Structure 1
Amino acid sequence: MTTRWGMTVPLSGIPLADHAAVYRALDQAGFTDVWSAEVTGADAFTPLALAAAWAPRLRLGTAVTPVFTRGPGLLAMSAAALAETAPDRFALGIGASSPVIVQDWNAGEFSEPYRRTRDVLRFLRAALAGNTVDGAYDTFAVRRFTLERPPAVPPSLLLAALRPGMLRLAATEADGVILNWLAATDLPQVLGALGRRRAGFEVVARIFVCPTTDAGYARALGRRLITSYLTVPAYAEFHRWLGRAEVFDPMWTAWAAGDRRGAGAVVPDEVVDALVLHGSPQECRAQVQRYAAAGVDVPVLALLPTPELAAGEATALLDVIAGLGGGEPR
């Protein structure tokens, strides 16, 4: 079993104020990590700050914080505050995000994502070490910025990456890489593109799991997610690079024509099953283990809603967490 086992938080449908019990259950079930995502739900830092207080054994990570939606200084301050709150157990994952999130929802400019991500990574490395940053990067300039409260233990810096350019940047300048929307069978190609890595370099993968034995429900939900995400240009290019152009071309064509229902209908079951894991919690856990066996250091589960969870039984979520847990109860 991999030494680390993560869950994406916060869990859907549960108020943040009620997550103390969730964090305790994750810890007791053998989960070692909680990682936050930042799209339109909670911000990346608040759920982790709560976990820092409520579950002091869990490691915390962002997967990911966009590099365009906060200024470099504010991002450094947010990361420093959490690193101070949870010394030596916080990892900051950053990524380019997408034009929809950056431009349409946050009124920012999505320009030169590779260089912006590289520049923010370099700025954070210097700022979180307590250095004064004064100078121009390719995509922004910073004048005399010094953290008032630099963390005693700077967080590790991880980079979300899909294709070879960003993967190589992660391998050469970051402390780890965060992968998303890939099958376990894709890992040899992706990890091969990383090339030589630093000592201690960490591979994190976000993996969608739908712990239900209702395969029809899981595949319908999986198709909705696939058509929502993998029609985004960055993810479409990622899957072309992975060799799925032929299988996804009908989906992309239907989506471009405005046929959302038709786009989902042409995604084969076997592709859905490879990208959105389903079955009993124990079966999902076994499928996640294949990622670990292929080289993922930290599988991070993204728990999707199921009919069983929607039924609202008080113990249903706890049973699912226990079934998905990565090791011996702690």
Structure 2
Amino acid sequence: MPLDSVALHRHREVIEAVAELGFTDVWSAETAGSDAFGPLALFSTWSSSLRFGTAVVPVQTRGPALIAMSAATLADAAPGRFALGIGASSPAIVESWNGIPFEQPYQRVRDTLRFLRRALAGEKIDEKFETFTVRGFRLARVPEVTPPILLAALRPGMLRLAGQEADGVILNWLAATDVPTALAEVGADTEVAARIFVCPTTDRGYVGALGRRLISSYLTVPAYRAQHEWLGRGDALGPMWDAWSAGERAAANAAIPDEVVDALIVHGTPDECRAHLRAYADAGVTTPIAALLPTPDMTTPEGLLAAVRAVSPA
């Protein structure tokens, strides 16, 4: 949330429906639409039961103290019901859109995690970290309940950092069959959230076209390409990467095999969507985050709520 097809101020009906349908959490994202914190602050006034989380806040587009203040504000607004997810983001978001050098992403995530641990506990911080220096910062409003911090992780180094130092891990762009590979690196009994793209429609042509556009736009980013090479999809996605590098976007989309779309995009009838989501849970995901993709029927309020119901646990 928020859903792209619904104005932010009109989400109250959706939030109420989500709670009634048995969902436990609502998570936000941050790319080029809404920021990660603002919508959750609004949603927290409409529900006293849902937990709210960010998946994710980029660590390089805000200073560390500002992330701490924003997280503390939401933790104060919804005590015990907020989880802070942070991640490295991507060169496009950090560098191309925000004019900030995308440097040392692993180290910046690690340093921000360590800073936030201490800051959210109310500690005064005066320290030179590897990627930034903080002099004399202390939160003026320390939350009553310290929010858990989850790390977005794609490959072994960040996955291990999440297992060793965070309260959980956020997985992204992986199939249910990939989860055990990722969790073998996390190596800890911890919360495992996963952002799972769901398109609840039986129109395979629509899913194929939308899924291929998403896959080619994401998995050509160096970090995601490296992730899927590590997961063993080098042969399946090699033709897409070659065509993309040659500037042939249409050919890149056409080169993505059906089995890759079916593995990475949950789609079909409501029962088929639930079964696929259950596969992620059975593989070790404790918090499946359904990232609802638009369908041809989501142009009306009725169609939107039907799509939400299609991916509900009820």
AA at the equivalent of 1:49:
A
What is aligned with 1:265?
254
What is aligned with 1:141?
133
The alignment status of 1:246 with 2:238, answered yes or no, reads: no
2-structure distance, mates of 1:274, 1:227: 15
What is aligned with 2:310?
323
Aligned to 1:309, the other structure's residue is in SS state coil
The alignment status of 1:180 with 2:172, answered yes or no, reads: yes
From 219, 228, 247, the counterpart of 2:217: 228
Alpha-carbon RMSD across the aligned residues, in angstroms, is 0.8
Alpha-carbon shift at residue 286 of structure 1 (Å):
1.4
From 91, 96, 104, the counterpart of 1:104: 96
Correspondence 1:65-80 to 2 at 5 A: 65-80=57-72
AA at the equivalent of 2:52:
L
In structure 1, list runs of 5 or more residues that go unmatched.
Answer: 1-8
- CA shift digits 1:209-240 (9 cap, x unpaired): 00011011001100000000000000000000
1-structure distance, mates of 2:283, 2:210: 26
What is aligned with 1:288?
277
Aligned to 1:222, the other structure's residue is in SS state helix
1-structure distance, mates of 2:270, 2:95: 38
2-structure distance, mates of 1:224, 1:286: 24
Correspondence 1:105-144 to 2 at 5 A: 105-144=97-136
What is aligned with 2:142?
150
- Structure 1 length-normalised TM: 0.94
Alpha-carbon shift at residue 281 of structure 1 (Å):
2.5
- Structure 2 length-normalised TM: 0.99
From 185, 189, 197, the counterpart of 1:208: 197
2-structure distance, mates of 1:189, 1:283: 24
The alignment status of 1:162 with 2:154, answered yes or no, reads: yes
What is aligned with 1:43?
35
AA at the equivalent of 1:19:
H
- CA shift digits 1:241-278 (9 cap, x unpaired): 00001111110000000000000101110110110111
What is aligned with 1:4?
none
Q: Is the 8 A contact 1:51 1:58 kept in 2?
A: no
Aligned to 1:223, the other structure's residue is in SS state helix
1-structure distance, mates of 2:17, 2:31: 25
Q: Is the 8 A contact 1:127 1:133 kept in 2?
A: yes
Alpha-carbon shift at residue 25 of structure 1 (Å):
0.6
1-structure distance, mates of 2:215, 2:176: 16
Query: Relative contact order, CA 8 A, sep 6+: which one is greater?
Result: 1
In structure 2, list runs of 5 or more residues that go unmatched.
Answer: none
How many residues end up aligned between the 2 structures? 314
Q: Is the 8 A contact 1:251 1:266 kept in 2?
A: yes
- CA shift digits 1:171-196 (9 cap, x unpaired): 0000000000000011111111112x
Aligned to 1:84, the other structure's residue is in SS state helix
- CA shift digits 1:62-109 (9 cap, x unpaired): 000000000001110000000000000100000000111000001111
What is aligned with 1:308?
297
The alignment status of 1:189 with 2:181, answered yes or no, reads: yes
What is aligned with 1:298?
287
Alpha-carbon shift at residue 315 of structure 1 (Å):
1.6
- CA shift digits 1:107-149 (9 cap, x unpaired): 1111000000000000000000000010100000000000000
AA at the equivalent of 2:8:
L
